[in-house]
Structures are given as C-alpha cells and as structure tokens.
Structure 1
Amino acid sequence: MRKKGAFLSVAMLLVLALFLTACGDKKTDSKEKDSSKGDTPKLMQMLTGGTSGTYYPLGGQMAKIISDETGIQTDSVSSNASADNVISLANGEADIAFVQTDVIANAIEGTNAFEGKKVDNVQALGSLYPETIQIVTTEKSGIKSVEDLKGKTVSVGAPGSGTYINAEQILEIYGMTMDDIKPQNLDFGESTGGIQDGTINAAFITAGTPTGAVEGLTASAKVSIVPIDKEKVDALVEKYPYYAEDTVEAGTYGLKEDVQTVAVLAMLAVRDDLSEDAVYKITKAIYENPDKIKHDKAKFIKPESGLDGIGIDLHPGAKKYFDEKGVEMK
C-alpha cells in the first residue's frame, strides 16, 4: 500500500510540474493573444518605401502617432515599396505597411506580379491619398508624349514596386511594351539622379506630389511631366478601375501648366492576425490625428475618404472604426 501511495504521489507531482511549465511558457509569450481575436503586439514594424519618396517621411510620422496614441511601439523602416511590402506582410515579417490599391488588389487576386503567389492573409486598414503616376523628364530631353519614350532609357521603378506595373499598363494602353523602351529598375532617387547626369531619359514615378526626389531635380534642370491623353486615361480607367484621372498642378516642380495624368491610391494594409482591438486603435489614431502630420498629403487623410479605392477585405478593427464614423465601402 505504501508503494502504491508513493507512486501516486510522484505521478501527481509530475502532472503538477508539467502544468506549471505550460503556464510559465504562456507568460513568456511576447504578444497578448486571444485565439478568437488575433494578436495585440507590443512592438510593430511599419514598412514604408524608398527614402526619397512620400511613404518614408509619412510613415515616420504615422509610426510616432501610433506609438503615442495606442502605446504600441511602432518603428517605420524603408523598403522597396508596395509589392515587396505585401510579401513581407504575408510572410509575417512586418505588421503594417504602405501599399498601392492596385498592387494589393493584384496580390489578393494572384495576378500580374503575384501570378502564382496569391496572398490571403493581408487586409486593408484604409486609404490615404492619391498616388500620382508622374512620367518625369526634362524640357531639353525633347520627350513630349508617351510615344516619344520609344527607344529611350526609362526608369520603371525599383524591383518589387508598384511603379513597374503602372508603367507596364500605361505603355500597354499606348500599344507599347517594355520591349519598346530600355527599362531600368531604379528607385526614385536613382531615377532623378540618372535624369540629372544623363544616363536615363525619363522615369515613371508613382507617388504623392510633390515628390521629394523630383523637387530635388528642379535645382539643376527644368522638369517636364509627360501628359497622358484624355482618351488613354479613359481607356486605362475602364480596363483597370483602380485608376482615376488626376492632374499635376501648375506650379508643382515649376510647371507652367496643369499636366493630365492618372493616379492610384496609397493605403495601409495589415496582417489579418492582428487583433480587432489593436487595429481599431491604430485606425483611430491615424484618421483622427492628421494635424500632427507635417506633409502636404495630410489634407487627404480623413475618415470620409478612408475607404476610397479599397477593393479587398477590410480588417474587422478598421471596419469597427469606419462603422462608428458612418463610412461604408463604395
């Protein structure tokens, strides 16, 4: 009987030890987790874009707002922008990122750059501002139209960027392909640097205007923006509905007249495993504090336009915020 009692006591101690070990493991988890609602991180990484574009300075200011308003320490980092940002989110390498509405739509659908790489674990937080497609050159280049790009050395965006797809689709509307130009995969700073030193003739730059890299070019050259003809704008919008007619206004980069072009929208996307509560707080922090953002694009960041151009599922936390504001998907 004594042996049996001793055996039972040892067994009970082992079970208790295993239970305490399991509890201890839970306490060391770096995230507070509710399996029904997702993760609430204590530290987040926000992916932006190249240091000479619009995403980078905006992201730095937004990260500070999120940190201050929610208590979730958020660090912004530079990246190759939209397409790479989506892949990093899908792989769990970041929590929140700037993307173009067209690029995220392609990722969810598994089309264009995402052929065979369909993404199913990324959702929308909200849209921010128009991203203008600017075909940048100089007055002395002699390039006056998209057709004039034939045979020229043209930057079509950094590898992994949405700019490449924009360039490809605009060339397509004009009956051209990448084979009709000499494409170079450069970021915005490299593009304007190349135009300045004469190694390239023009560059596709998809970013909010004014774009820092293009403004920098005006110090050494008379900048020209190549227009997109009205009928081509209409054809592009009809085939790819995430585009919208846009204008680079006179005075921007020293331009004497408005230049007709198109735009997509910049937006924020998040991993779908972030908790509803966390994303609600992040969304509220961004859309209710645009006055703390020192950039021309801050004027576009407002709840009533926060769902413009969104063609993918909205994260439940973001939906809760926009529902409170009475804003619905269009």
Structure 2
Amino acid sequence: MKRKNVLLSFVMLLTVSLFLAACGSSGGNGGSGDGDGAEKPQFLSMLTGGTSGTYYPLGGELSKIITDETGIETTANSSNASADNMAALAAGDAELAFTQTDVASNAIEGINSFEGKAIDNVLAIGSLYPETIQIVTSADSGIESVEDLKGKTVSVGAPGSGTYVNAEQILEAHGLSIEDDIEAQNLDFGESTGGIQDGTIDAAFITAGTPTGAVEGLSATVDVKIVPIAEDKIEELVAEFPYYAKDVIPAGTYGLEEDVTTVAVLAMLVVTDSLSEDVVYDITKAIYENTDKISHAKGEFIKKESALNGVGIDLHPGAEKYFKEAGILE
C-alpha cells in the first residue's frame, strides 16, 4: 500500500511539473512567446516584386536585417508586386510585403482593381522611398508626349501590379484608355525593357525607384527617353489622387540630357494583422534603426522621420508603438 502511495505521489508531481513547464513556454516572459501572449514565429515570408525591379534586391537586404535583429528567419520572395502582394497577404500566403501607398489604399477601400474585394487584414509598417512613374521608350521612337502613346504597343505592367493602376490613371488624365487607345501588354520590368530593345513594344510604364536596374540595362544598349508629364497634368493628377506627388528624374540618369518631370507614389511595407504587436514592433525597429546597413541606393531615403509620409492605411499596433517611442507619433 505504501508503495502505491509513493508511486501515486510521483505521478502527481510529474503531472504538475509538466503543466508548469508548458505554462512557462507558452508566452509570458520566457520560452518562445513574444511577450503579449502570442507565439513568436520561426519564419516569415516577405513578398517583393520582379527580380529586375527595386523591391526584390531591397527586400533581400531588409529580410537579412530582420533576420539578424529579431532572430526570425525572413525570406524575400519575388512576385508580381503591389496589388498581387496585397491579395496574397489577405489570403494568408505571406506575412510581409512591399506595395505602393496608392495600391494599399485602394485595397483597403475596395476600389479600382479591388472593386468588391476590399481587404481588411493588412496594416502598415511604414513608407520607404518615392517610386517614380517612368514612361520609358527609345530616343528614336518618335514618342514625345503621353498623347503620342495612342496607337502604340505599350507595356502597362505585370498583371496585378500597381504600375497598371498608374498607367490607367495617367492615360485617362490625357484622354486615353488602356482598352481603346493603345495595344496594351502586361509585362514585367525586364520583359518591358527587353521588348523596347528588340522592337516588339514601343514604350513601357515602369513604377519603381530610380535608377531602376532594368532601365539601366536598357540604356547600355539603347538611347533611352523618359516621356515627360506636363505640369498641368501633374496638377490634375495630384488634385484627384493625393497619393501622387510631382517628381523629377535628374539629367544624367540613364544618360538623359535634361531633367524629366513626372509623378511618384511611395513604396511601403505592410504586414498581416495576424502578427503580434511585439513581433511587428521588433520588425519595425529593426528596419528603421539599421538603415546604415542598407547598401541599396534607396537606403538613403528610408528614415523613421519620413516613414509615415503617404501612409493612407492604419498602422499595425506594433509599428505604432515604435513610432511613438521614437517621437514620430504623439
């Protein structure tokens, strides 16, 4: 009998020990919890853009910073960029993504390419750098203005990309439509510049930070022209779509002989609301406190002081916490 009591006591002690161990590892101040009761993930997927654009190489650097600073293995993956990235986050296919500020606003509001498909589980981390709308052609194409695109074969961006929306809005501001006035091609940046080089297309809309790798590659073999947007049309676009801003591509870029006026939106990072406040706080802090580790040319524009510029959707609570601590938000 005594032996049975000892055995029973041992079993009870073991059960209590296992229960306490489980409690200690499920959040709180220890184990793999991240401090707010949610589990800290081991892996994160970041969606970027095409391999010949700006998102992909910059995303690779940001992913490394997040991995090094937070201990969460983060991988940058190529994609069709902005609009597709928002849809993928909504579907739970990734946790982080690059997108354009205008595309994010459209997705949350359920307008333009998101008509009837509003997204409600994606929040902002912060903006990164200006993304310039570049209407690229060759110097001998005869295309001098946006109106000259009528009847031409023009790439308007990969399906689901923010570039498509920009092309649609800019063409409409000039009295043109994608469906009726141009021969539209849905190509990514590399395919677009390749098409201009071999003559299969006449021009391409490319929304990306300048200089863009694909356009630089084109300028090595072809004299590049960037079609300007007239000042009055810029004013119209900004008045109707406040996420646009006037931008200038400086002379010397791609071998240009003079400055070219155009418009820009902002690149931003977004995240699903499934990630906890503590995890997103750590991610946000990792990015904006380690910009000196970014070798990409766009790194100079990534600053906590300007991280809320153009952000038209709600911040994730983790990002909000960081920007309040940094004195950017009250």
Query: Structure 2-normalised TM-score?
Result: 0.89
Question: Would you say the 8 A contact 1:307–1:328 is kept in 2?
Answer: no
Is contact 1:39–1:274 with CA below 8 Å preserved after alignment?
Answer: no
AA of the residue aligned to 1:162: G
Structure 2: gaps spanning 5 or more residues: 1-11
Does the alignment pair 1:130 with 2:130? yes
Question: Structure 1: 5+ residue runs without aligned partners?
Answer: 1-12
Task: For 2:92, give the aligned amino acid.
Answer: G
- Give the whole-Å Cα distance in 1 for the aligned partners of 2:324 and 2:40: 21
Relative to structure 1, the CA distance from residue 38 to residue 310 in structure 2 (aligned partners, 3 Å threshold; closer, same or farther) is farther
8 A contact 1:39–1:273 mirrored in 2: no
Q: Deviations over 1:125-152 (max 9, x none)?
A: 0000000000000110010000000000
Task: Tell me, in whole angstroms, the C-alpha distance in 1 between the residues paired with 2:247 and 2:329.
Answer: 23
Q: CA deviation at 1:295?
A: 1.2
1:40 deviates by 2.7
Q: CA deviation at 1:182?
A: 0.5
**CA–CA separation in structure 1 for the residues paired with 2:159 and 2:37:** 35
Whether the aligned pair in 2 keeps the contact of 1:133 and 1:206 (CA below 8 Å) is yes
- Residue equivalent to 1:3: none
| RMSD after superposition | 2.1
Letter in 1 for 2:206: I
Which residues in structure 2 correspond to 1:70-149 (within 5 Å)? 70-149=70-149
C-alpha deviation, 1:33, in angstroms: 6.5
Q: Give the C-alpha shift of residue 38 in structure 1.
A: 5.0
**Normalised by the size of structure 1, how large is the TM-score?**
0.89
CA contact (8 A) 2:34 2:278 kept: no
Amino acid at match of 1:291: D
Residues 2-13 of structure 1 aligned to structure 2 (within 5 Å) = none
Report the 3-state secondary structure (helix = DSSP H, G, I; strand = E; otherwise coil) of the residue aligned with 2:140: helix
Are the equivalent residues in 2 in contact too, given 1:154–1:184 (CA < 8 A)? yes
Distance 1:251 1:316, change over 3 A: same
Distance in 1 separating the partners of 2:289 and 2:32 = 26
Work out whether 1:251 is the aligned partner of 2:245: no
Secondary structure at 1:140 match in 2: coil
The equivalent residue for 2:329 is: 328
1:38 touches 1:273 (CA, 8 Å); kept in 2?
no
Q: Partner amino acid for 1:293?
A: I
Which letter does structure 1 place at the counterpart of 2:284?
T
- The amino acid that maps onto 2:169 is Q
In the alignment, what sits opposite 1:287? 288
Change (3 A) 1:35 1:107: farther
Q: Which residue of 2 aligns with 1:154?
A: 154
**1:131·1:208 contact (CA, 8 Å) conserved in 2?**
yes
Distance of 1:97 and 1:41 partners within structure 2: 16
Q: Which residue of 2 aligns with 1:4?
A: none
Counterparts of 1:243 and 1:327, CA distance in 2: 23
Q: Distance in 1 between matches of 2:240 and 2:248?
A: 20
CA–CA distance in structure 2, aligned partners of residues 58 and 188 of structure 1: 16
Alpha-carbon distance between aligned partners in 1 of 2:213 and 2:312, rounded to the nearest angstrom:
29
Partner residue of 2:206?
205
Q: Find the aligned partners of 1:198 and 1:166 in 2 and give their Cα distance.
A: 23
Determine if contact 1:249/1:259 at 8 Å carries over to the other structure: yes
d(CA) in 2 for partners of 1:68 and 1:236? 41
- Alignment of 1:301 onto 2:302: yes
SS for the counterpart of 1:176 is coil
Which residue pairs with 1:68 in the alignment?
68
The CA deviation string for residues 84-132 of structure 1, in whole angstroms up to 9 with x for no partner, is 1001111111010000000010000000010111000000000000000
Contact 1:156 1:163 in 2 (8 A): yes
- Displacement of 1:328: 3.3
Residue 229 of structure 1 aligns with which residue? Answer: 230
Post-superposition Cα deviations, 1:244-266, rounded to whole Å, max 9, x if no partner, equal 11011111000011100000000
Deviation string, structure 1 residues 45-65 (Cα, Å, up to 9, x no partner): 000000000000000011000
Partners of 2:227 and 2:177 in 1: CA distance: 17
SS at match of 1:40: coil
Give 1:326 deviation, angstroms.
Answer: 1.5
Cα distance between partner residues in 1 of 2:328 and 2:172 = 35
- Higher mean alpha-carbon deviation, 36-45 vs 311-320, is at 36-45
1:184 equivalenced with 2:193 (yes/no): no
* Residue aligning to 2:49: 49
| CA deviations over 1:176-198 (Å, ceiling 9, x no partner) | 11111110000000000000000
After superposition, the C-alpha distances for 1:187-225 in whole angstroms (9 at most, x for unaligned) are 000000000000000000000000000000011100000
Give the count of matched residue pairs: 308
Tell me which residue corresponds to 1:278: 279
Residues of 1 paired with 2:218 and 2:309: CA distance?
Answer: 32
Checking the alignment, whether the CA contact within 8 Å between 1:132 and 1:261 is kept in structure 2 is yes
Shift of 1:36: 6.8
- In 1, Cα distance between equivalents of 2:253 and 2:281: 36
1:37/1:276 contact within 8 Å kept: no
